[in-house]
Amino acid sequence: MQIRSAGSKRSFKSKGMKKVITYGSFDLFHKGHYELLRRAKELGDYLIVGVTTEHFDRMRGKLNLMDPIRVRMDNVWKTGFADEIIVEDHDGQKVEDIQQYGIDVFTLGSDWVGRFDYLKEYCEVVYLPRTAGVSSSALRDEKLKIVRLGIIGTGRIAPRFLKETSYVSGIEVVGAYNPEADSAKAFEDTYQVVTRTDDFEGFLSEVDAVYVASPNETHSEYVRSAIEAGKHVLCEKPMTFTYDEAVELYKLADKRDVVLMEGIRTAYLPGFQQLLSVAKSGVIGEICDIEACFTRIGAPGTREMTDAKYSGAFLEYGSYTMLPIFKLMGKNYKNIEIESVHGKNGIDIFTKVHFRYDNKVATAVAGAGVKSEGQLVISGTEGYILAKSPWWLTKGFDVRFEDPNKVDHYEATFQGEDGLRYEIAEFVRKINGSAGADYKLTAEESIAMADVVEKFMVKRRDLQRRLSCE
């Protein structure tokens, strides 16, 4: 097979040879792909096929491709129509390829009519009629059983979550549950999702999986009931307030053979994965310190600004800030110190958690009523990584060194506004058994966070008691 990566193109325009180029993912290779390639070849003498990388497809919003690129390229090659296969991995590549390969005809299926007319400046553009009745998306949906999902809790995040599910194939929101009638009705009316206010068992019986987005203090009970009913669970953070309960819930999920995932969305972002890989690559030397900060001054009256028992800075944002620490330094810290500043109503408006490891330190900082520079700094013996706010929606980061002129900047793929679609796609992949090993956020890491949450809760209750006595 003649395969050339996008980086090693050579320029040639063979005399008298009419060259055609086409592109696609060619996932779950089907008749429509075969017919497209057959007719593309007929448009000239030499056919080049660009096959997309997973990375490029993720950037285009295709998050659930099933075949790896090697398989997709093999399938294109097996048709016998392609004379050469190249890899497509970035926007704008088509213009470069057409010029560098000396292309005469660019072709794609008719689902793209008009979209690539700008290429007429470089070559002929032909849209071939699409083969009716078949597509990779439909095949993926057939292959993967669609996950019927129910949303528990219809507060602020539920509409955002609902919207993001539409970008992930293989999942459909079929219902919602909220015992509070007003909120349930508003959600049902606005989003046309049947929302029950009672009969929780009935709600569960109609779904394969649930997303728990109810108030923090209700998470663990909903999680337990859903798992016991054999449902997969994605739960907003913090899933529980105690170590023991977290252990118990993961054990229960294991026993019932269902997926249990804590919704710390940063863990599932491609950019955050890349940041962790770069940090672990040794480029900044030995990691000695991590400072992770997340602060937000919420609107007056919101739960995070007022609920002194079950909300506040650390319970709302602490999971984000602990995540890079546990991912890069592990869970076996030697010592932990938790310090908070409290607002008049008793909530922690600012909390700092200091972790001491064997010869390493880290600080997780959360604010809900105090504003600070919300950045992530990972310091090493050779340099440091700086991810600016909002680093928890990782879109890029710098690797910096002693020499201030030496800065490596990394840009990351990030689709949508809040990154939820990556978490949802991971949940669907896990349910379908196609997510591979569990490494983005392990049960052990989630349990370690619950342990810190428990220590924080004990300390805050003591302090609140003392303050109320004064």
- Provide, rounded to whole angstroms, the least separation between the CB of residue 262 and ligand CTP: 30
* Total of residues contacting ligand CTP (CB under 6 A): 18
**Tokens encoding 299:** 């609107």
- State the DSSP string of 366-398: EESS------EEEEESSEEEEE-SSGGG--EEE
Report in angstroms the alpha-carbon separations of 219 from 211, 222, 224, 427.
10, 5, 9, 18
Task: State the DSSP H helix or E strand holding residue 108, giving kind and residue range, or none if neither.
Answer: strand 105-109
Instruction: Tell which one of 19, 20, 32, 151 touches ligand CTP (CB under 6 A).
Output: 32
Beta strands 3-4 and 335-342, pairing class: unpaired
| Contacts to ligand CTP from residues 45-64, by CB under 6 A | 62
Direct distance between the N- and C-terminal alpha carbons of the chain, in angstroms, rounded to an integer:
79
- By CB under 6 A, is residue 260 in contact with ligand CTP? no
- Provide, rounded to whole angstroms, the least separation between the CB of residue 146 and ligand CTP: 15
Q: Which residue is it, tokens 């093999």?
A: 74
> What is the rounded CA–CA span in Å between residue 247 and residue 188?
35
- Provide, rounded to whole angstroms, the least separation between the CB of residue 131 and ligand CTP: 4
Q: Which residues contact 423 (CB under 8 A, 6 or more apart)?
A: 234, 261, 263, 265, 267, 268
Are the C-beta atoms of residues 332 and 451 closer than 8 Å to each other?
no
> What is the rounded CA–CA span in Å between residue 167 and residue 233?
19
Report the residue number, 111 or 408, with the smaller CB distance to ligand CTP: 111
Report the residue number, 60 or 145, with the smaller CB distance to ligand CTP: 60
Instruction: Tell which one of 53, 79, 93, 135 touches ligand CTP (CB under 6 A).
Output: 135
> What is the rounded CA–CA span in Å between residue 95 and residue 99?
6
Report the residue number, 77 or 112, with the smaller CB distance to ligand CTP: 112
- Provide, rounded to whole angstroms, the least separation between the CB of residue 25 and ligand CTP: 4
- By CB under 6 A, is residue 42 in contact with ligand CTP? no
> What is the rounded CA–CA span in Å between residue 312 and residue 149?
29
Instruction: Tell which one of 49, 59, 108, 378 touches ligand CTP (CB under 6 A).
Output: 108
Q: Per DSSP, what are the bridge partners of residue 233?
A: 210, 260
Q: Which residues contact 334 (CB under 8 A, 6 or more apart)?
A: 356, 357, 358
User: Taking contact as CB under 6 A, which single stretch among the options 92-100, 134-142, 229-237, 408-416 is the one that binds ligand CTP?
Assistant: 134-142
Report the residue number, 3 or 247, with the smaller CB distance to ligand CTP: 3
User: Taking contact as CB under 6 A, which single stretch among the options 92-100, 104-112, 248-256, 380-388 is the one that binds ligand CTP?
Assistant: 104-112
Instruction: Tell which one of 24, 270, 369, 380 touches ligand CTP (CB under 6 A).
Output: 24
Report in angstroms the alpha-carbon separations of 441 from 269, 327, 339, 448.
11, 8, 26, 11
User: Taking contact as CB under 6 A, which single stretch among the options 6-14, 21-29, 414-422, 461-469 is the one that binds ligand CTP?
Assistant: 21-29
Instruction: Tell which one of 20, 21, 26, 430 touches ligand CTP (CB under 6 A).
Output: 26
Task: State the DSSP H helix or E strand holding residue 277, giving kind and residue range, or none if neither.
Answer: helix 270-280
- Provide, rounded to whole angstroms, the least separation between the CB of residue 298 and ligand CTP: 39
Spatial strand order in the sheet of 348-357: 335-342, 348-357, 360-367, 287-295, 376-380, 383-387, 396-401, 407-411
Instruction: Tell which one of 42, 111, 189, 206 touches ligand CTP (CB under 6 A).
Output: 111
Instruction: Tell which one of 6, 119, 126, 134 touches ligand CTP (CB under 6 A).
Output: 134
Q: Which residues contact 214 (CB under 8 A, 6 or more apart)?
A: 152, 153, 155, 178, 222
- Provide, rounded to whole angstroms, the least separation between the CB of residue 23 and ligand CTP: 7
Report the residue number, 168 or 287, with the smaller CB distance to ligand CTP: 168
User: Taking contact as CB under 6 A, which single stretch among the options 126-134, 299-307, 356-364, 383-391 is the one that binds ligand CTP?
Assistant: 126-134
Instruction: Tell which one of 21, 36, 322, 347 touches ligand CTP (CB under 6 A).
Output: 36
- State the DSSP string of 336-362: EEEEEEE-TTS-EEEEEEEEEETTEEE
**CA nearest to 168, candidates 466, 416, 439, 441:** 416
- By CB under 6 A, is residue 109 in contact with ligand CTP? yes
User: What residue is closest to ligand CTP based on CB?
Assistant: 109
Report the residue number, 126 or 308, with the smaller CB distance to ligand CTP: 126
Report the residue number, 131 or 389, with the smaller CB distance to ligand CTP: 131
- Provide, rounded to whole angstroms, the least separation between the CB of residue 43 and ligand CTP: 13
User: Taking contact as CB under 6 A, which single stretch among the options 30-38, 75-83, 170-178, 196-204 is the one that binds ligand CTP?
Assistant: 30-38
User: Taking contact as CB under 6 A, which single stretch among the options 24-32, 373-381, 431-439, 457-465 is the one that binds ligand CTP?
Assistant: 24-32
Beta strands 376-380 and 383-387, pairing class: antiparallel
Amino acid at 404: P
Site string for ligand CTP, 136-175 (x = CB under 6 A): xx--------------------------------------
Residues that bind ligand CTP (CB under 6 A): 24-27, 32-33, 36, 62, 108-109, 111-112, 130-131, 134-137
